[in-house]
Structure 1
Amino acid sequence: MSEHTDPLPALQRIQALPSWVLGRVAARGRSMVARAIGSEGAKMWHHAVLAAVSEYGPLAQAELGRRIALDPKDLVGVLNDLQAEGYVVREPDPRDRRKNAVTVTSGGEAMLARCAAAAEQANDALLAPLSAAEREQLMALLRRIGVEEPE
C-alpha cells in the first residue's frame, strides 16, 4: 500500500497536471480556430493543405500528404473540396506524369489569407488574458517543452 500525502482528491490531482491543463488549453484553442476558420467556409485541414500547397507547390499529392502527415484517403477528400471551390488545381506532374501535382489558385491564396487572419484573431482571443510579455514567455516555454524530446 503506497502512502500518498497529496491532499487533493484523485480527479483534482489529474486536473492539476501540466499535461492535463495543456491538453485543455490546446482543445480550447483548436475549437476557437476551427470556429474562426469555419466562418470563412473552411475546415482546419483545408487551411493546412492550402498553406502547404502555397508554400511548397506545385506539389505531388503523395508528397503533400507526407509533409502535413495526412492520410492519403483523407487528403483526397480535402483536395476534392478545395478543387470544387476553385482553390486548388490538380494536373499531371511535369516531373512524373503518373502523379498529380497540386497548385493553389489565386482564389485559394485569398482563402488562405482569410483563414490565416481568422486563425490569428482566434489565437489573440485565446491569449487575451496575457500581456504581450507573458505571451512571448508562454510561447518560449511551450517551444522549449514541445521541441525537445525526453531522454
Structure 2
Amino acid sequence: MQTPSDDAPPARLTTLPSWLLTQTATHAHRLVSEGFTAVHARGYHYRLLAALDEYGPASQAALGRRSGIHLSDMVATINELSERQLVEREPDPTDRRRNVITITPDGRRQLRLLDKQLTRIQDNLLAPLSPEERDELTRLLARVLDHHDRRSTRSDG
C-alpha cells in the first residue's frame, strides 16, 4: 500500500469519469466566475445576452427556457443588465402583461467582451490539451450531454 499525500484522492476515484467531470467542472466554474468578475459580469449575464443575440427579442419566459436561467433569477438578471443599459425591457404590444427583452448595442459590445474573456478562460482550462484534443473533448462531452438531455426530456413527458 502506498503512502498518500494529504490531498491525494483514492486511486479508484481518479479513474471514474463522473469524478473527473465533477472535479473539472469545479475548476471550470471557478475560472469562469473569476474571469467574469474581472470584467464586472456574471454567467447569467452572458447566457442572457447570448440568447438575445442569437434568437432576438424575447419574453422573460422564453429567455429563461433558452438560457437555462430559472424565472426566479431572470428578473434580477434583467434588472442588472437594464441598469447598465445592456438590455431594454418593453411591454409586449400583443400582451401588455408580458415584457419583451431586447439586447442593446452596448449589450452586444459587452457580449463580445465576454466572448473574448471566455476564450481566454477556455484556453486556461484546457491548457494541457492540443487543439485537436480540445475539439475531441468538446465533441465527446456534447454527445454525453445530448444523450442525457434527450433521456430526461423523454422521461418528463
What's the counterpart of residue 107 of structure 1?
106
What's the counterpart of residue 119 of structure 1?
118
37-46 or 66-75, which deviates more: 66-75
The 5 A counterparts of 1:1-151 are: 11-149=10-148
TM-score for both structures, normalised by structure 2? 0.82
Superposed CA offset, 1:85-133 (max 9, x none) = 1101100112322210000111111111101110111001111111112
In 2, Cα distance between the equivalents of 1:71 and 1:140? 27
Deviation at 1:11, TM superposition (A): 4.3
In 2, Cα distance between the equivalents of 1:64 and 1:146? 21
Give the structure with higher Rg (CA): 1
In 1, Cα distance between the equivalents of 2:88 and 2:143? 38
In 2, Cα distance between the equivalents of 1:30 and 1:98? 36
**Structure 1 portions without partners, runs of 5+:** 1-9
What's the counterpart of residue 5 of structure 1?
none
What's the counterpart of residue 7 of structure 1?
none
Q: When the two structures are aligned, how many residues end up with a matched partner?
A: 142
Q: Which amino acid aligns with 1:99?
A: R
In 1, Cα distance between the equivalents of 2:60 and 2:136? 38
39-48 or 89-98, which deviates more: 89-98
In 1, Cα distance between the equivalents of 2:60 and 2:145? 28
**Structure 2 portions without partners, runs of 5+:** 1-8, 152-157
Q: Which structure has more RCO (C-alpha within 8 Å, separation ≥ 6)? A: 1
For the aligned residue pairs, the C-alpha RMSD in angstroms reads 1.9
Give the match's secondary structure for 1:148.
helix
TM-score for both structures, normalised by structure 1? 0.85
